[in-house]
Structure 1
Amino acid sequence: MKKTSFESLDFDASNTIINTLTSTDPTPVSTWHNLKNSFKRQPGNPELNQTLKKRQLRMISLASCIGSGLFIGGGSALKVGGAGGVLIGWAIVSVYLYCVMQSLAEMVAVLPISGSFAAYSSRFVDPSWGFAVGWNYALFWVVVLPLELVASAMTIKFWPSAINPVVWVAVFYVLIILLNLCGNKGFGEAEFVSAVIKLLAIVGFNILAIVIICGGTDAGFIGARYWHHPGPFANGAKGTISVLITAVYSLAGTELIGLTASESKGNPRTELPHAIKLVFYRIVVFYMVTLTLVGFLVPWNSDQLVGSSSSDASASPFVIAINSAGIKVLPSIFNVVVLIALLAIGNSAVYGFSRTILSLAQQGLAPRIFMYVDRAGRPLMGILVAAVVGLLAFVSATPDQEVVFAWLMALSGLSTLFTWASVSLVHLRFRMGMKAQGRGLDELPYLANTGVGGAIVGLVTSVVILVLQFWISLYPVGRAPNAKVFFQNYLGAVVVLVFFVGHKLYSRKLNAVVRLHEMDLDSGRRELDFELMRQVIETEKEELRMSSWYRRMWRVLF
């Protein structure tokens, strides 16, 4: 087959679909004919297009997960934990996440395969664990789509209007599905643009926040006023522990870069670890600094925050902070940024679910129908199912939308915890397998900065947070023990347990843990000539040593 000469160019959404087609017929055909044929099943083994660019990968790593967890969920965390509790909670989760991402960087550099998390778990731990983690991650993303759409409906309420917010939900729903039908080019460009907008907005907010705190507006000097009254902590240690799961949710999606490994246009050995390195800057600048400034501007006892009896759920703590300074127009502009962030996460949700369910189907852990990849490289059945589940977003038309938001957010946050724990476990098992088979670390194109110790820290932290969350779910802050509250906060653990035990019983393989000496350490590698790889890496290091100091500094930092 001969590819069209236009495939490498970036056109608009409709041309992107058409240009990925292959054709042997030189006779001109209509646009409609090409479009219709693009949805036909891809012949042979289904393959996703490797068209994601370096700039897209880096922006996905830097800002893909900035959404409702930070802009809206940060308000509920501030309400229950106070400014001090928020900083401690996010700091703990940030260190935990950095260890997880370093483990992931090493794994995707070695094995850039589709649906990496589930595939790694089945291959290096246990097929039943791979089934549980894979479906858990798929459910996480398929739930996130309606969650972000509900959050967008709540955000739209910031502007008084006679138009029912559900109308906007319908518009956003159609937009997200169309973007994903444009393939990974549409997804990559949408993520790139939204990431730039989010990053510029957060940097701008941080500069403005410093000005407001120092008394540069009509609100006067604020300083550390709210750290003295009402104080840094809302509910003591229990409040801080309650913040942990919100922090996990706000950083959820960071691991999405691992799913892009098989669709990267360049060499995953170099590009993915470099992209993942940017996670450190996201954590420090866009979370820790930003949340510290929010804590100076908004007291935890504000009746506008999410979770209070009279709160308006459409108002994020960022908008509240700007409003409290008496600045006109800017709150509306920032609310638009919040809306863009929510829609970007919704876009990622369809991508994440469709790629994960495809990987599960390829492993025989999901119905084979999900292996349907069309000629444009789109996993159509996964996109279709995500679209159907996304219809849950229309619950925003009911008065119980805040309750639904809380349920979906708690479920998603705990699902992320299991995913991160699995990444750490997989890395640890992979290193153990290499040692058992007498393989040297010089066969690895990238070594995690945190090493095996980081994987252990990630795994232990996962267990500790799960135990603490169990306690908080049994005895919630400010409330008596309640079965509804417990299952609302701990439903994710129940789902994983049911999947794991159910697969064990169905497969009748109660002890199927992969033996270290039998691990397949090579299938899926792009580089099997280890001697050549070592020479290439050594040449790259020598070139870097001979380069200018600022280039060396840039390489270390980015």
Structure 2
Amino acid sequence: MVYQGACKSDAALIDPETGVKRGLKTRHLTMMALAGIIGPGLLVGAGGALSNGGPASLLIGFGVIGIIAFSIMQSLGELTTLYPSGGAFTSLAERMVDKAFGVAVGWNYFIIWVAVLANEYNTISSIFTFWGPQVPLWGYFLIFWFFFLGFQLLGVEVFGEAEFWLALLKLAGLAVFFVFAIIYAAGGLVGQDEPLGFRYYHNPGAFVDGFRGVATVFVFCSTFYAGIESVAVAATETKNPGVAVPLAIRQVFARILFVYMGSAFFFGLVCPADADGLANGGSRALKSPMTVAIQNAGWNGGVHLINAFIFVTCLSATNASIYIGSRTILFMAKDGKAPRFLGWTDKRGVPVAAIVFTNLFGAISMMNVSTGAGKAYNYIVNLSGVSTFLVWGSISFIHLRFRAAWARQGRTPEELPFRSMWYPWNAHFGLAANIFLALVQGWGNFVPFDAGGFVDAYILIPLFPIIYLVYKFWNKTKFHGLEEIDLDAGRRGDVDAAKQATRLVPDEALTPNVKGGRLRAIWKNL
């Protein structure tokens, strides 16, 4: 058997609805699900979460958000396997609920990625300011701004290949740090007098500031998890979404367990929550728990190694943030939810206008100049964290609407190519949990009352209904009845369609020359 899609011209790979190129391979999407989008938000931002909540709060935050993320991915897997259409859940929101709802979800999702992008530029500029203070902060920002803009314009195949190898490096780097942490905690380092054990759970303590600290950690953790749903955005640019998307969805559990829970446990184990300048100070530099742990272990020069690793994750996370943000705004423009000029793609399927527009928001990171990297990071995290809760809750609601319409129109769950686990409990849980976390995440600003922190924590919650109601009444959109929802347009999820998409043919029908290149062709399109 051999995949004949390799014979297709580039023009044949252009998606007719969105104008983007189907250039991502299955291995690209799988690695994006495993380690894509993981950047300094996890490695550096976890320092702020640890400082605000303590090691036990960090573990609880990662665990709770991980359960919610798993629930969301089950819902999204069922939806995007059946409808791997442009716009992912923004178009699904319009189809299952209302166009105004799709507009509100889409713009909130875009806010997540411009906030994440600003934080990546914040971190990468801070790293180079640490290495070379002779160059001003804005100078490093401009250098990397033009670099990432040029890289994105090379096309989706280049993006996918870069993400594949960078993701492998991230997984390898985390694995090495976990081994170091185990040896350090056990007292096995050269020159170490005694085992570290769980010392930092006792002093300064497992929890910092009680429930307020735990509530604050939820916001940080939601930002770290943002991006696991990006496989839905990338589905349109995947050669074989019927196979790639379900496979990628199944990798999420491994990502939650190894990357997030592993990081939460080992960061809290080897780094004290009261470490000086742990990502919440006013300086222009950012500290990672990894950096603090290595310095406390006696290797001061190790900070450069950790900064180099963080820099690698910055390359991946910044690249991915521009990709997801630009595709989100592109798909919205194609559907009339954003200015039409942002929906233009060139003949190679590259959304040039959307890429430039998204990358411009990276300039938000320059608030670092006046506030310091740590404070700037915290401000932006609050924005992206709340938006994540709102978007994730919307995905659960869309899933519930879809299943209700599916049943109302006389269809059965057995017809679905990918079925969500534990439905409907997981979808109801995802909706309720995200609403709850969106409301309690700013708890720490109430006693004593902090007006600035309160606004930063809650300003985006009213924005969602404002966008929805303004668009709805201005354009007089209609909330779809269950009988009216179109369940067939764009449907590419049944098993036969998935098999046909792979274009597999018997070896007997191939010439000897084609047979000889079978393995090369399979790897090329994997």
Displacement after TM superposition at 1:473 (Å): 4.0
Contact 1:145 1:349 in 2 (8 A): yes
2:235 to 261, 268, 272: 261
Residues 270 and 535 of structure 1: is their aligned pair in 2 closer, same or farther, counting only changes over 3 Å? closer
Name the counterpart of 1:488: 456
Structure 2 CA distance for partners of 1:171 and 1:526, relative to 1, 3 Å: same
Match for residue 348 of structure 2 among 367, 376, 380: 376
Aligned to 2:509: none
Which amino acid in structure 1 is aligned with residue 490 of structure 2? G
Residues 194-213 of structure 1 aligned to structure 2 (within 5 Å): 194-213=166-185
**1:66-88 Cα distance to aligned partner (Å, 9 max, x none):** 11321111111111110011111
Instruction: Summarize the alignment of residues 327-406 of structure 1 with structure 2, pairs less than 5 Å apart.
Output: 327=299, 329-406=301-378
CA contact (8 A) 2:392 2:434 kept: yes
- Verify the 8 A CA contact 2:281 2:375 in the aligned structure 1: no
Cα distance in 1, alignment partners of residues 121 and 148 from structure 2: 10
Q: Which stretch of the first structure deviates more once superposed, 353-362 or 419-428?
A: 353-362
Distance in 1, matches of 2:132 and 2:423, equals: 52
In structure 1, the partner of 2:226 is 252
Show structure 2 runs of 5+ residues with no match: 501-526
Equivalent residue number for residue 128 of structure 1: 100
Q: CA separation in 1, counterparts of 2:21 and 2:362?
A: 25
- For residues 458 and 494 of structure 1, the distance between their equivalents in structure 2, rounded to whole angstroms, comes to 20
Tell me by how many angstroms 1:387 deviates.
2.7
2:431 aligned to 449, 455, 459, which one? 459
- Shift in Å, 1:275: 1.0
Task: After superposition, give the CA deviation of every residue in 1:277-298 in whole Å (9 maximum; x if it has no partner).
Answer: 1111111111112221111111
Equivalents in 2 of 1:246, 1:228: separation in Å? 23
Q: Identify which of 268, 271, 278 aligns with 1:295.
A: 268
Between the aligned partners of 2:442 and 2:422, the Cα distance in structure 1 is: 28
* Highest RCO, 1 vs 2 (Cα 8 Å, sep ≥ 6): 2
Q: Structure 1 stretch 326-335 or stretch 368-377: which is displaced more?
A: 326-335
Rate the CA distance shift 1:68–1:251 in 2: closer, same or farther, 3 A: same
Distance across 2 between alignment mates of 1:110 and 1:503: 28
Q: 1:392 Cα deviation (Å)?
A: 3.4
Measure how far apart 1:443 and its partner are. Answer: 2.1
Deviates more, 1:396-405 or 1:235-244: 396-405
In the TM superposition, what whole-angstrom CA distance separates every residue of 1:3-51 from its partner, at most 9, and x where no partner exists?
Answer: xxxx969xxxxxxxxx9579xxxxxxxxxxxxxxxxxxx9975421111
Deviations 1:341-364 (A, max 9, x none): 123221112111221112212222
Alpha carbons of structure 1 residues 401 and 206: separation in structure 2 relative to 1, 3 Å: closer
2:33–2:231 contact (8 Å) kept in structure 1: yes
1:276 counterpart = 2:249: yes
Q: For each residue in 1:105-124, what CA deviation from the matched residue of structure 2 results, as whole angstroms up to 9, or x when unmatched?
A: 11111000111111111110
Change (3 A) 1:380 1:132: same
Which residue does the alignment assign to 2:482?
516
Give the structure 2 partner of residue 304 of structure 1: 277
1:191 aligns with 2:163: yes
| Correspondence for 1:57 | 29
Q: How does 1:99-248 map to 2 (within 5 A)?
A: 99-159=71-131, 161-217=133-189, 218-220=191-193, 221-248=195-222
| Equivalent residue for 1:502, pick from 460, 470, 480 | 470
CA distance in 2, matches of 1:518, 1:194: 44
Q: What whole-Å deviation, never above 9, does each CA across 1:364-407 have from its counterpart, x for those lacking one?
A: 21222122111010112111211322233344444544433222
Query: Once the 2 structures are TM-superposed, how far is the Cα of residue 90 of structure 1 from its aligned partner?
Result: 1.1
2:417 is equivalent to residue 445 of structure 1 = yes
CA distance in 2, matches of 1:535, 1:321: 50
Structure 2: how far apart are the matches of 1:45 and 1:283?
A: 33
Deviation (angstroms), 1:169: 2.1
Distance 1:330-1:375 versus aligned 2 partners, 3 A rule? same
Partner of 2:408: 436
CA deviations on 1:254-274 (whole Å, 9 max, x unpaired) are 1111101111112x2222111
**CA-to-aligned-CA distance 1:295-330 (integer Å, 9 cap, x gap):** 111111222312257x77422111111111112543
**2:51 paired residue number:** 79
CA 1:527–1:233 in 2, change beyond 3 Å: closer, same or farther? closer
Given that 1:149 and 1:343 are in contact with CA atoms closer than 8 Å, whether structure 2 keeps it comes out as no
| Cα distance, 1:272–1:177 mapped onto 2, change above 3 Å | same
Once residues 222 and 172 of structure 2 are traced to their aligned partners in structure 1, the CA distance between those partners, rounded to angstroms, is 23
Aligned-pair CA distance for 1:518: 0.8
Residue identity in the other structure for 1:233: F
Q: Is the 8 A contact 2:66 2:256 kept in 1?
A: yes
- Alignment-mate amino acid for residue 518 of structure 1: E
The amino acid across from 1:79 in the alignment is: S
In 2: Cα distance, 1:535 partner to 1:378 partner: 28
Cα pair distance change 1:371/1:172, threshold 3 Å: same
Q: Which moved more, 1:482-491 or 1:513-522?
A: 482-491
- Is this contact kept in 1: 2:125–2:137, CA < 8 A? yes
Distance in 1 between residues matched to 2:150 and 2:206, nearest whole Å: 45
1:500 to partner: Cα distance? 1.5
Q: Aligned in 2, Cα 1:289/1:390: closer, same or farther, shift over 3 Å?
A: closer
Q: State the identity %.
A: 32
SS at structure 1 position matched to 2:430: helix
Partner AA of 1:242 in structure 2: T
User: Does the CA contact (< 8 Å) of 2:280 and 2:375 recur in 1?
Assistant: no
| Distance apart, 1:186 and its partner CA | 1.9
Give the whole-Å Cα distance in 2 for the aligned partners of 1:333 and 1:534: 44
Q: Give the one of 491, 497, 503 matched to 1:525.
A: 491
SS at match of 1:518: coil
Q: Supply the distance in 2 between the matched residues of 1:76 and 1:150 (Cα, whole angstroms).
A: 15
Letter in structure 1 aligned against 2:25: K
Report which stretch shifted further, 283-292 or 212-221. 212-221
Deviation per residue, 1:469-505 (Å, 9 max, x gap): 2534434xxxx21221111112221322321122123
Cα gap change, 1:199/1:79 in structure 2, threshold over 3 Å: closer, same or farther? Answer: same
| Partners of 2:152 and 2:184 in 1: CA distance | 40
After TM superposition, the score normalised by the length of structure 2 is 0.88
Label 1:502 to 1:526 Cα distance change in 2 as closer, same or farther (>3 A).
same
Secondary structure at the counterpart of residue 204 of structure 2: coil
Counterparts of 1:502 and 1:193, CA distance in 2: 44
SS in 2 for 1:378: coil
1:96 to 2:68 alignment? yes
Indicate if the aligned counterparts of 2:31 and 2:164 stay in contact, CA closer than 8 A: yes
- The two structures, once aligned, show a CA RMSD in angstroms of 2.5
In the comparison of the two structures, how many residue pairs are matched?
494
- Structure 1: 5+ residue runs without aligned partners? 1-6, 10-18, 23-41, 537-558
